[in-house]
Structure 1
Amino acid sequence: MSETATTHATPAAGVRWTWDFGPDLSAADSAALLPLLAALAEHGTLGRAAATVGTSYRAAWGLLRRCEAGFGKSLVLKARGRGTLLSAFGEQLVELDNAARASLAETHAPWTTRLQETLFPAITPPPERLRIAASHDLALADWIENGRHVSVDLFWRGSEEALAALTRGECDVAGFHLPETWTPEQTTAWLGRWLKARQYVAFPAMRRQHGLLVATGNPFGVQSVADVARLGLRMVNRQRGSGTRSMIDQLLAANQLSAKEIPGYAHEEFTHDAVAATVASGQADVGFGIAAAAARYDLCFVALTWDRYYLALRTGIAHSPAVRHLLRRLQGNTFHQRLAAMAGYEALAGIEPLPWEQLLAAPA
């Protein structure tokens, strides 16, 4: 099956597909056959089927004969008093086409949406309820779960997975975080792997303090990742593709440490809560995460660095009612009070969607 994208100047533009039946049939015959067979299955007469697909009886009959010759099999049967019926082979082709189109329609729905947004930005309706794929965060989870008038569908992904989901059209908003120590060049190089210039905007939601999570009282006297390697402590890591995992790897590199020098480096968890719980249960000696996770599990926290948590979205919905409502809630007292009540969080002023390359190039 070959695929093509239509470019008609109508809101119905999208991804279309046609079958390629091989060198024995022309592209035109391959494209015309399945619609004719489907119409014939519905109407039962070749004359009505031909009219439905916009061709003549003679042309439709010629198409069937050419394709039957190419396949070496009958597509239709003439029955006295019953019109023209599909053969068993013809029915199989129609069933296969219907199943393939249903599957491909689901697969290509995000691409159809993006094409419509590109061609007809004023016509494509903005989402009424935002779908947010986001890197795990305790404050965001608490606010959405318990806050009033926060109407979104939230699912946790690593930063890289969330951004990839945004570009595929699988979500409306992606949550990700970046170290404040990164240069504009680093942020642009990393984020440019997913977000095209001028097609996406982003805004910062908050600052978060990251560091090492160790048992109450810090019994090993850990002060740095170098201590973790020197003392041979068991570490619990975050999953590949998460922003926190990237921060861990950068800290190891900055201290000239190899992952092989860290026992437990391959032990992965998917949330800050899970990392803290693993340390609190004694299954690991140290983890890396946000200060709020350490406080929640009564762990000792060794502060190392800060990051900024961002939300990215398509430019076409930046001023939609749903996005404006989300921005008002993030700027409101309730969200700021929740941040103030949690260890290691700071609210940020002036939250407005800006082209991501402009926003991230600004001084921290």
Structure 2
Amino acid sequence: MSKLATISQEEIAADIHLPRLRWYWDFGLNLSEPETRKLLTLLVALFDTTALREAALKAGMSYRTAWGLLRRCEEELGMTMVTMQRGRGTQLTPLGESLVELDAAARLALGEGHSAWEGRMRSLIEPLRRPVTTSPNRLCVLGSHDIALADWVEHGRQVPIDMIWRGSEDALSALGRGECDAAGFHIPDTWGSDRFSAWLSQWLDPRLHVCIPVMWRQQGLLVRSGNPLQLESLMDVVERGACFVNRQRGSGTRRLIDEMLDKRNIDRGRLLGYGREEFTHDAIAATIASGQADAGIALKAVAYRYDIDFVPLVRERYGFAMRRSSLTSPQVKTLLQRLRGGTFRNRLHALPGYEPMSEVSPLDWDSWIKKTQG
């Protein structure tokens, strides 16, 4: 069993403001819902280490809390889930291993069914959702999820934006409707100017909107630590019957996945897990790291974050689109200044698979590809 990521699915869902269908185990014990989730998270962590203190840290709790939770659950169940022996550390009993394996299998099976119902709920709610509002001194930016931007917005000083994660196409569509100030999107480096312009034209007007190049980043196949199935491509995932976790419809990564399948004439029904969708790169990595899937497409940097393996597939441009009329606003001028600054560029250099663009300036669509060759 691979390592479990410390970020929770609940935290991911809260960040993107979308309805999610959830379930959890009720063991019939005097345990709260968070305690039940923590118990299974702790047991998964003990697959990878015999040190309870290390497992507790990975599960996001103190050693004392972890020890107390295990003892209380064992007393309530009347069964032993872990053993502790001098020189051998803490190990799962057959019961503990079975609990983890059953939980992973159940989540995998239920995830397939959840995605369809979640999609129906989102299609019902999203058209009724009010346009996003933000402070008059800050920019409202809808954009494709990116861990470099997420870290910068959360921890950077004087970053004048409120960032809300949406798929590239959803973000561009919102910008075209005037529901946000800017849209973050990404495209493969194989696209030429004609294809890029035709794609943007679905939502924006070249006379009214410009694009700002921000960074290069690398996406690829995320697989379990050690790549036990020797997966090197989506074709390998299909042919070896590996379990895949997909990105949501409307995201740039989902578009990339579909194009890869179409290029090889692979029917979507052959990709086990195609209907199971997640909404961030972190969610993809967490699903694989916790053993609930074998592979997914996401950023190189999240593979390092979750200590799983990465197979490079494509290099991408990431940028912002915004209205020409907004370029003279103090907020946009400040944003451009921060994006060009050493702090942000140093953050990019520190992340695996990232590079800052040499020029961070508003560009017309037809020159965006030409001037961002790298």
Fold shared per TM-score above 0.5: yes
Aligned twin of 2:255: 246
1:278 counterpart (287, 311, 316)? 287
Matching residue of 1:220: 229
Match of 1:348 in 2: 357
Tell me which amino acid in the other structure corresponds to 1:209: Q
Structure 1 residue 233: deviation in Å? 0.5
**What is the aligned partner in structure 2 of residue 176 from structure 1?**
185
Counterparts of 1:230-309 in structure 2, within 5 Å, are 230-309=239-318
CA shift digits 1:220-244 (9 cap, x unpaired): 1111111111101000000000000
Is 1:159 equivalent to 2:168 in the alignment? yes
Q: Is the 8 A contact 1:184 1:362 kept in 2?
A: no
Whole-angstrom CA distance in 1 between matches of 2:172 and 2:205: 11
1:209, 1:307 within 8 Å by CA — same for their partners in 2?
yes
Contact preservation (8 Å) 1:235, 1:286: yes
Gaps of 5+ in 1: 1-106, 111-125
Shift of residue 255 of structure 1?
2.1
- Post-superposition offset of 1:199: 0.2
Q: 1:336 is paired with a residue of what secondary structure?
A: helix
Q: Distance in 1 between matches of 2:210 and 2:194?
A: 18
More displaced stretch, 354-363 vs 218-227: 354-363
- Partner SS, residue 354 of structure 1: coil
CA distance in 2, matches of 1:362, 1:149: 28
The alignment's C-alpha RMSD in Å is 1.7
CA contact (8 A) 1:184 1:361 kept: yes
Show CA shifts across 1:101-120 (max 9, x none). Answer: xxxxxx9x98xxxxxxxxxx
Matched residues, percent identical?
51
* CA shift for structure 1 position 198: 1.4
Q: State whether residues 205 and 348 of structure 1, in contact with CA within 8 Å, keep that contact through their aligned partners in structure 2.
A: yes
Which of 324, 336, 353 lines up with 2:333 in the alignment? 324
Paired residues for 1:15-34 under 5 Å: none
State the TM-score, normalized to the length of structure 1: 0.64
The residue correspondences of 1:117-136 to structure 2 (distance < 5 A) are 128-136=137-145
- The number of residues matched between the two structures is 242
- Higher-Rg structure is 1
Counterpart selection for 1:336 from 298, 323, 345: 345
Show structure 2 runs of 5+ residues with no match.
1-127
Distance, in Å, in 2 between the alignment partners of 1:234 and 1:333 is: 41
Q: Does 1:198 align with 2:234?
A: no
Match of 1:314 in 2: 323
Question: Once the 2 structures are TM-superposed, how far is the Cα of residue 292 of structure 1 from its aligned partner?
Answer: 0.7
Query: In the alignment, does 2:184 pair up with 1:209?
Result: no
d(CA) in 2 for partners of 1:143, 1:363: 22
- The letter of the residue matching 2:325 is G
| Structure 2 residue identity aligned to 1:337 | N
**SS of 2:205's equivalent?**
coil
- By how many angstroms is 1:128 displaced? 2.9
For 2:370 and 2:361, the matched residues in 1 are separated by: 15
1:281-304 CA distance string (max 9 Å, x none) = 111100101101111100100001
The answer to whether the 8 A contact 2:194-2:366 is kept is no
Q: Give the whole-Å Cα distance in 1 for the aligned partners of 2:366 and 2:171.
A: 18
Q: Aligned-pair distance for 1:127?
A: 5.3
How far 1:363 sits from its partner (Å)? 6.1
Q: How far has the Cα of 1:340 moved from its partner? A: 1.0
Task: For 2:344 and 2:157, locate their aligned partners in 1 and report how far apart those are by CA, in whole Å.
Answer: 10
Aligned match of 2:123: none
Q: Quick one: distance in 2 between partners of 1:358 and 1:252?
A: 29
Choose between structure 1 and 2 for higher RCO, CA contacts under 8 A separated by at least 6 residues.
Answer: 2
